[in-house]
Amino acid sequence: MKEDTTLDLGALGLDAGALLLVKRALRALPTGARLEVRGESPDLGHQLRAWARGQGHGYGEQDGRRWISPGGVGRWAGAERAGGVAPAGVVERPSARWGLAARGALVEAGSPALHFSLDEKSMVWSEDAGRLYAQAVAAQWDPETAIPWDAAIPHDEEVEDAVVQVMTYLIENETAALLVPARFLGQLHPHFREVMQLLAVTTADEARHIEVFTRRARLRRTLLGLSTHGGQASLKTLLEEPDFGLASFLLSVLGEGSFLSLLWFLQEHAPDPITRQICKLAAQDEARHVAFGLAHLSRHVSLDPGLRGRLALAVQHRHQSLAQTAGLNEEVFDALVVLAAGGFDPTQIAQGYERVLTLQADMDHGRKLRLERLGFHPEEAAALSALHTRNFM
């Protein structure tokens, strides 16, 4: 046996920080040596004995002297590494026993199992998640300083009515866009932390959008606009979809993709600088949401080609369930025409009407392109896009 090493704790007790020094001394102990622990704390003996045995170390006392003989890994026998040791280290299906442990941490045996329904990499992962999260964090904006709330609103009351109606519609849709990722966030295994963080910042984006749309609607009005049965029914189908992949497809790829076109349209035709800046900033956020939906579903489809058929069925089922609803309400359509027209002269209204029809065509074109990116043939993409809810989202 090698020569013992001595640690003198003085009056410091194990319950007052001395344990840190004991563990430090054990780490530096030569192989085959013992650690003699000296100290004046009256409880040192039984505290040290209990701790050493709990760690799997040998412990001895003789003539008032105390020794610890390292016993290997002790309590960490049977511990399991939560994923690979590399920074990526993402596994295909993390164990429920890893629970909330950081990816790459050593998890003590016997830790409680936490079951997450979204625990398969193929279901949720995208290599772009980390990049998109970093981008989202860097692009966060403060509604108080990023929006020129004191800017002049020169338009007349009828145009303001149109703005309020559109803002009311945007609030309703963004509420659904917040609740869908929030619902799945708690079902996601924390091993996929980049996706978890991205879903969390997505809900923060939507909360901020709801705030600024509401504030804009109330700048010159006390009451908001109309909410219709058809609009609520359309959004209800998103909230009730239990499958993460299908919900992401319906919300992000189809709904928010179309919504993005709407925000660009409003940015172009906004009657005041406040509305213009709000729509510009919201569109930047929504573009990330669409990008993640496409990235994660593209990967999922490549691993599970049968998913494409389920996506198509989800569109068809949603269309059938909404067949008896009116879709986009007349008030929102008319409000968009007013904003695009820039005035109430018949020629201006005609131009505004054509611009809204062009918006709808642009939405359709964008949906078809995104569907083709997921591997749908152009004809099938066109058919599915045509079935998308008339409420846009």
Question: Is residue 45 domain-shared with residue 161, that is, in the same domain?
Answer: no
In a domain, 393, yes or no: no
Give tens-digit pLDDT for 332-368.
999 999 999 999 999 999 999 999 999 999 999 999 9
Q: 57 with 137, same domain?
A: no
* Contact call for residues 295 and 286 (beta carbons, < 8 A): no
* In a shared domain, residues 61 and 88: no
CB-CB contact of 344 with 227 (8 Å): no
Closest CA to 25 of 35, 33, 40: 35
* 87 pLDDT above the threshold of 70: no
pLDDT at 84: 72
For range 89-107, the mean pLDDT: 93
The residue range of the domain holding 220 is 121-386
Question: What is the tally of structural domains in the chain?
Answer: 3
Q: Is residue 102 part of a domain?
A: yes
The torsion of the CA quartet 197, 116, 206, 374, rounded to 10 degrees, works out to 90
pLDDT band at 2 (very low <50, low <70, confident <90, very high): low
Mean pLDDT, the chain, integer: 92
Q: Note the pLDDT of residue 114.
A: 95
Whether residue 131 is predicted with pLDDT greater than 60 in this model: the reply is yes
Task: Examine the domain organization and report whether 158 and 61 are in the same domain.
Answer: no
Q: Both tokens of residue 120? A: 């398969």
pTM for the structure as a whole:
0.85
Q: What is the CATH number of the domain that holds 61?
A: 3.30.110.40
Whether residues 63 and 82 fall in one domain: no
Lowest mean pLDDT, pick from 62-66, 128-132, 190-194, 212-216: 62-66
Question: Strand 80-81 vs strand 5-8: parallel, antiparallel, or unpaired?
Answer: unpaired
Residues 105 and 220 in one domain: no
DSSP state, 252? Answer: I
Same domain? For 284 and 310 the reply is yes
In single-letter form, the type of residue at position 48 comes to L
Residue 262 belongs to some domain of the structure: yes
Do both 47 and 173 map to the same domain? no
Residue 224 has pLDDT above 90, yes or no: yes
Mark whether 311 and 222 lie in a shared domain: yes
Residues 242 and 96 in one domain: no
Neighbours of 4 (CB within 10 A): 15
Domain CATH for 133: 1.10.620.20
End-of-domain residue from the set 58, 86, 115: 115
CB atoms within 10 A of CB 51: 16
- Say yes or no: 97 and 41 in one domain: no
Highest mean pLDDT among 65-74, 149-158, 322-331: 149-158
In this predicted structure, the answer to whether residue 40 has a pLDDT above a threshold of 60 is yes
Last residue of one domain, picked from the residues 86, 115, 144 = 115
Identify the weakest region by mean pLDDT among 89-93, 139-143, 279-283.
89-93
Instruction: Please give the average per-residue pLDDT across 157-183, as a whole number.
Output: 97
Whether the predicted pLDDT of 1 surpasses 60 = no
- Please say if the pLDDT value at position 269 is more than 90: yes
